[in-house]
Amino acid sequence: MNYLIPFVILILVVVFIHEYGHYYFAKRYGVGVTDFSIGFGKEIFGWNDKSGTRWKICWIPLGGYVKFFGDRNVFSQTEQEEAIKKYNEEDKKKLFILKPLYQRSLIVAAGPLANFLLAILIFTFIFMFSGKDMTPAIIEEVQQDSPAFVSGLKKNDQIISINGKKINSILEVSTFISTSSSKEIQVEVLRNDQIKSFSIVPKVISTKDSFGNSINKRMIGVRLSPPNKNFNREKLSPSKAIFFSLKEVWFVTSTTLQYIKNIFVGSADPDQLGGPIRIAKVTGQVAKHGILPFLSIMAYISISLGLINLFPIPMLDGGHLAFYAVEKILGRPLKQKTQEGFFRIGLFLLFSLMFFATFNDLKDIGIF
């Protein structure tokens, strides 16, 4: 229960924000919305609003959907000729499929964009009211014969960038090294007021994270220490907080895309790919440390949800956007049978991904 309750709260929030993005733009453009569901399966409870939308919570809290008037599912698209014959003039105004292409595209894209916006707002709130660590990354010790030692790093060097990414905090060093996918890591340091560059090949070791979870970690063999043993946590102005929030969202997005690319080319460890069980476990572990860590993990999950939904896979928002791109090129939507064929492919891909991620989760908790 310590894991389940925080996980359910997190999923409810990020899914609601995602679906509300679709809902908001649908209502703005006059599309009828029959259902707004958090979760799948049998309804637990719900209510109807004055416009006829059924708001409901369902038993399986692993997603949600907004169903439009006249559609068989979230964004299904019947042939427009059939729709024109079936509905009267008043109902046609509420049909999603008869809206201009740009409006349909905005409605679909609004879900993932809402997730990115939620992450930006969370990070901005944290940076403004709790602060962001801005402690310089000073090397206190270089381990003998380590990759850093061999490359030439020395005590008192200040790490200022890793792989071209500026280091604003001592806490970023480990993150940038761990998420790097290249064989060599490019490190720039400030030594005696001079900038020096080094190429370092990190070691990959099996270890435990701060919560006791097994991970493969890239190490270069340095120990960092803040000046005078004091961390410098600054409360940022709104503009600066937004800037660093955008930077954090971009970092997570680009790193995730690079990791997925490397999985396909065989240069990344696919065992690090997790699913709902691992997310629930980590969420529960983080929630024990307070509201701010919980909000942070919510922001990261929100980014992941938004990004995954933009993948050009049928059944996901990105798949529908891909269909609209084809419609723009052809001047007409794809035929229903063609779309259904792609939906089957997308369903197979999603189930395969879910199976693989769940298998990794079960290995992580020792079942396999």
* In the block, residue with structure tokens 């105004």: 93
HSE of 320, CA atoms in CB hemisphere, 13 A: 24
Other Cβ atoms closer than 10 A to 331: 6
Q: What angle do CA 251, 123, 134 make, to 5 degrees?
A: 75
- Which residues make Cβ contacts (< 8 Å) with residue 99, sequence separation at least 6? 29, 30, 31, 107
- Catalytic site residue 79? no
Q: How remote is the C-alpha of 322 from its chain's centroid?
A: 20
Q: Which of 19, 172, 188, 248 is catalytic?
A: 19
Residues 16 and 275: their CA atoms lie apart, in Å, by 19
CB under 8 Å to 123, separation ≥6 — which residues? 241, 244, 245, 248, 249, 296, 299
- Between strands 33-48 and 214-219, the pairing is unpaired
Spatial distance between the Cα atoms of 204 and 213, rounded to a whole number of angstroms = 16
Residues annotated as catalytic (active site), given as ranges = 19
